[in-house]
Amino acid sequence: MQKKLTTLAILMASLFLLHCTGGGQGRKGEDGKYQAIRTEVPERPAGQKDVLGLVAEKIDTVRVGFIGLGMRGPGAVQRFTHIPGTRIVALCDQHEDRVEKAQAILERAGLPRAASYSGSKDAWKGLCEREDIDLVYIATDWKHHTMMMLYAMEQGKHVACEVPAAMTLEEIWAVVNTAERTQKHCMQLENCVYDFFELTTLNMAQQGLFGEVLHTEGAYIHQLEDFWNTYESDWRMKYNKEFRGDVYATHGMGPASQALDIHRGDKLNTLVAMDTKAVNIPEYLIEKRGVERDSAYMFANGQHTMTMIRTEKGKTIHIQHDVASPRPYTRMYQVSGTKGFANKYPTQGYALQGDVLAEGDLPDHENLSAHNFVSKEECDALMGKYKHRIHRELEEKAKEVGGHGGMDFIMDYRLIYCLRNGLPLDMDVYDLAEWCSLAELSRISIENNNMSVEVPDFTRGNWNKIQGFRHAFVD
């Protein structure tokens, strides 16, 4: 009896303690409130400075080397054959036949053969070491991106890397530190920021059409069932099997962050993330690949992952990821402000404060269509009026060359335009860091009962140095 009472007393005391300390899970700050989980922010090494607004010496002819010629890489080689002021110097893939296929693109364009690098997993290093290359363009799988970016910068090259350029905070900090130490451009090839609706909407936001932008959304919702077997050595399935969290957040984060001037006057502060269990991919593995049920269901990545972020200036971003559900492709792009709203999927539209009710009309609570998008004609007129300068200059050529309807060409063109003219690139290494950080930060949140997690300030204190996101032009 005595023993039972003692046990009960210990239990009660423990419960009381748990109550006071938040179950030992949370950390309270001086204000008595629970703090977000904080990851380590390494100090900026002595003698190193940030690369905000970095300008490098003008390069008259940008000499490029490509690494990774699977599904995505050859399209980039093709696009570069249309960009003035470039020379394709070297091509690399571990598979020789893929390099040869890319050489054929050059031949068809009437360009000389490039140097070939293949036959081993390390052949790309030789490409990075060449003296006659200014830019290394990387389109390999996610696990190779960081090592290639770091090595290229160490060899004095600017780098452009496919999305997501880095998968963990350790990788991200290594990339930021190397870019700062070498003062080289390190751009993530996030094409969606150049899509026609997104860039037009960004221009509208920058002209104040939506008032103060308070909330943005983005997503990558794309069932990949037809693609799973096409990736080299199954890298994408393996990654999703191993890691929980939003492993492919950049297509949503790019346009959402630019509309909010992230690290150009505002910064990401905290996030919380949540996911559903995985079903469709494990079932696919059982059905299509004959994987044992127990093993198939040992699948880390949730079927649908949601992340919500709050910024220093009190704005929010909602990002989603789903590569498994049978849903139409969507990037869920939305911009919501005090005076207006933009929505891309499933139909493009704008709603503006003054248009909600015609003058003299009384609110009709039965008629919800009164709270609607502007008419198709008004929408077209707005999109014409606010067409971004980049689109005015490049749209026709971009649609002719192609690459996701033209946005890929615009991305490559802008990269080269800025390098040739010694201008800051449209996307810097801190964009890369912020957009990629969701992979690990959302995982930390999900794996800790969806707790709030601090988003590190990758600029290490300089997020307010530049006011407002703008594209650079010569004149």
Is residue 151 close enough to count as binding ligand NAD by CB under 6 A?
no
List Cβ neighbours of 223 (8 Å cut-off, separation of 6 or more). 280, 322, 323, 324, 325, 326, 327
Question: Residues 80, 137, 142, 173: which binds ligand NAD (CB under 6 A)?
Answer: 142
Cα–Cα distance, 277 to 298 (Å, whole number): 11
Is residue 321 close enough to count as binding ligand NAD by CB under 6 A?
no
Strand, helix or coil at 270? strand
The nearest distance, CB 59 to ligand NAD, in angstroms, is 24
Question: Residues 36, 54, 69, 247: which binds ligand NAD (CB under 6 A)?
Answer: 69
Question: Residues 78, 86, 140, 459: which binds ligand NAD (CB under 6 A)?
Answer: 140
Stretch that binds ligand NAD, among 26-34, 92-100, 281-289, 381-389 (CB under 6 A): 92-100
Question: Residues 51, 92, 135, 221: which binds ligand NAD (CB under 6 A)?
Answer: 92
The nearest distance, CB 195 to ligand NAD, in angstroms, is 10
The nearest distance, CB 22 to ligand NAD, in angstroms, is 39
Number of residues that bind ligand NAD (CB under 6 A): 25
Crossing angle between the packed helical segments 250-258 and 196-206, to the nearest 10 degrees: 30
Please give the C-alpha separations between residue 40 and each of 3, 43, 173, 426, 460, in angstroms, as whole numbers: 45, 9, 10, 28, 12
Crossing angle between the packed helical segments 142-154 and 169-182, to the nearest 10 degrees: 20
Query: Which is closer to ligand NAD, CB of 243 or CB of 297?
Result: 243
Q: Which two tokens stand for residue 159?
A: 């780098």
The nearest distance, CB 26 to ligand NAD, in angstroms, is 35
- Which residue lies nearest ligand NAD, judged by its C-beta? 70
Q: Which two tokens stand for residue 170?
A: 């350790």
The nearest distance, CB 248 to ligand NAD, in angstroms, is 7
Query: Which is closer to ligand NAD, CB of 179 or CB of 411?
Result: 411
Is residue 221 close enough to count as binding ligand NAD by CB under 6 A?
no
CA 249 to mean position of chain CA atoms = 5
Question: Residues 28, 38, 95, 108: which binds ligand NAD (CB under 6 A)?
Answer: 95
Query: Which is closer to ligand NAD, CB of 180 or CB of 440?
Result: 440
Strand, helix or coil at 382? helix
Instruction: Give the type of residue at 203.
Output: N
Question: Residues 26, 70, 349, 402: which binds ligand NAD (CB under 6 A)?
Answer: 70
Question: Residues 231, 243, 341, 345: which binds ligand NAD (CB under 6 A)?
Answer: 231
Tally: H helices and E strands in the chain = 16, 16
Question: Residues 50, 54, 68, 463: which binds ligand NAD (CB under 6 A)?
Answer: 68
The nearest distance, CB 53 to ligand NAD, in angstroms, is 25
Query: Which is closer to ligand NAD, CB of 193 or CB of 335?
Result: 193
Query: If you search the block for the tokens 């050595």, which residue do you land on?
Result: 233
What residues pair up with 335 in beta bridges, in sequence order? 216, 342
Is residue 105 close enough to count as binding ligand NAD by CB under 6 A?
no
CB atoms within 10 A of CB 233: 9
Q: Show the binding pattern over residues 390-429: x = contacts ligand NAD (CB under 6 A), - = does not.
A: --------------x-------------------------
Query: Which is closer to ligand NAD, CB of 123 or CB of 214?
Result: 123
Question: Residues 36, 62, 66, 94: which binds ligand NAD (CB under 6 A)?
Answer: 94
Cα–Cα distance, 188 to 459 (Å, whole number): 16
Please give the C-alpha separations between residue 420 and each of 86, 121, 413, 424, 473, in angstroms, as whole numbers: 9, 32, 10, 11, 11
Question: Residues 56, 116, 129, 141: which binds ligand NAD (CB under 6 A)?
Answer: 141
Q: Which of 161, 169, 323 is nearest to 241 (CA)?
A: 323
Q: Which of 185, 196, 182, 75 is nearest to 420 (CA)?
A: 185
Q: Which of 257, 300, 250, 310 is nearest to 275 (CA)?
A: 300
Cα–Cα distance, 228 to 236 (Å, whole number): 7
Is residue 191 close enough to count as binding ligand NAD by CB under 6 A?
yes
The CB-side HSE value for 353 (13 A sphere, CA atoms) comes to: 10
The nearest distance, CB 311 to ligand NAD, in angstroms, is 25
Query: Which is closer to ligand NAD, CB of 94 or CB of 305?
Result: 94
The nearest distance, CB 149 to ligand NAD, in angstroms, is 12
Q: Which residues bind ligand NAD (CB under 6 A)?
A: 67-73, 92-95, 98, 121, 124, 139-142, 144, 162-163, 191, 231-232, 404
